[in-house]
Amino acid sequence: MAEISVLGAGSWGIALGLLLHKNGHRVTMWSALESEVNMLLTEREHKIGLPGIKIPQEIAITSDLDEAVSGKDVIVMAVASKFVRATAHRLQGKISKGQIIVNVAKGIEDKTLMRLSEVIGEELPEADVAILSGPSHAEEVGNGMPTAIVVGAKTQETAEYLQNIFANDVFRVYTSSDVLGMELGAAFKNVIALAAGIADGLGYGDNTKAALITRGIKEIARLGEAMGAKPATIYGLSGIGDLIVTCASMHSRNRRAGILIGQGRTMEEAVKEVNMVVEGIVSARAATDLAHKYNVEMPITEKVSEVLFNNADAKNAVYDLMLRDKISEHEEMPWE
């Protein structure tokens, strides 16, 4: 049994807290939001994030960060990506050397273009930072539906330790040494999910969706490889796996925001209506900046950025994509 603390008590934090509790670990949940802590303490349920799923009394819930992290074997960082740096910063002086922090948030930091494990590593150099990523909606994990996911870590020892902590008969955990590839896949699939949502909102069908998923993973792979990711990671659970689930599911807030934009709302209106952090928006800007930095072509991502940030017409953006220069599907594959 391990002592585990989960920082961030939204849908994913709670689903993981419940999973870890079922696996026999002692779990403490922490939130920076007093209102969230109060709701969880009184209702024993997150009425908005994970309605209908009760949190057992044995899971401790606190707003005291010292109490949450002191002496814990593993700290799961489950705040939304834009709060990762601030939360890691608040942990300064509270983490001992080698203490494991598993980040489960997905995104790239705005402006610095840093991966979230790099952000945590910069704030907390003494921590052993790992990540958990893959196709895993909180609603389904919370209801015990079979899910396969990947833990990425600097060492095999940490990866296998975490694999044993998280795995059970409905939660299959693989390990990976390619943290970079996993983080890029996790962040950029949200951009393609926005595109898939936009296509849905425009009334397009399954052909369009399949084209976006397939050509989307191709451009993520192009950028990933330029940045040092392993192709197998991009075509694995944390890459194509997560892209498929995000583009297909109504659980995805990125896809839902995309649908609203496709139906004619502005980015701001869509975010307001979804009423949750839409992480793909920051990731779209980051991916576009990184594509320019690494001189990589990412046409879908570029068009999503134009629609989001320059109010470009979504339908015209699709025509532009369809009418790009005619090319071979795999330019790297020469003719005999």
Ligand X SMILES: NC(=O)c1ccc[n+]([C@@H]2O[C@H](COP(=O)([O-])OP(=O)(O)OC[C@H]3O[C@@H](n4cnc5c(N)ncnc54)[C@H](O)[C@@H]3O)[C@@H](O)[C@H]2O)c1
Helix axis angle for 267-274 and 299-310, nearest 10°, is 90
- Cβ 193 to ligand X shortest distance, Å: 11
Catalytic residue among 72, 189, 209, 303: 189
**C-beta closer to ligand X: residue 10 or 201:** 10
Cβ closest to ligand X, residue 138 vs residue 317: 138
Annotated binding-site positions: 8-13, 83, 106, 134, 136, 138, 189, 242, 252-254, 277, 279
| Among the listed residues 104, 80, 90, the one whose alpha carbon sits nearest the alpha carbon of residue 10 | 80
Active site residue 272: no
Contact 150, 134 (CB under 8 A): yes
Residue with tokens 């942990």: 91
Interacting residue ranges for ligand X, rule: CB under 6 A = 8-13, 31-33, 36, 49, 78-81, 83, 86-87, 104-107, 136-138, 276-277, 279
Q: Is-contact 142 15, C-beta < 8 A? A: yes
The least distance separating ligand X from the CB of residue 198, rounded to whole angstroms, comes to: 19
Binding residues for sn-glycerol 3-phosphate: 106, 134, 136, 189, 242, 252-254
User: Of the two residues 10 and 121, which places its CB atom closer to ligand X in the complex?
Assistant: 10
Shortest distance in whole angstroms from residue 318 CB to ligand X: 26
Q: Which is nearer to ligand X, 253 or 306 (CB)?
A: 253
- Smallest distance from ligand X to CB 37, Å: 9
Instruction: Give the CB-nearest residue to ligand X.
Output: 10
Output 36 or 123, the one with its CB closest to ligand X: 36
Which region, left, alpha or beta, applies to residue 103 given φ > 0 means left and ψ of -120 to 50 means alpha? Answer: beta
Quote the least distance from Cβ 31 to ligand X, whole Å: 4
Positions annotated as catalytic residues are 189
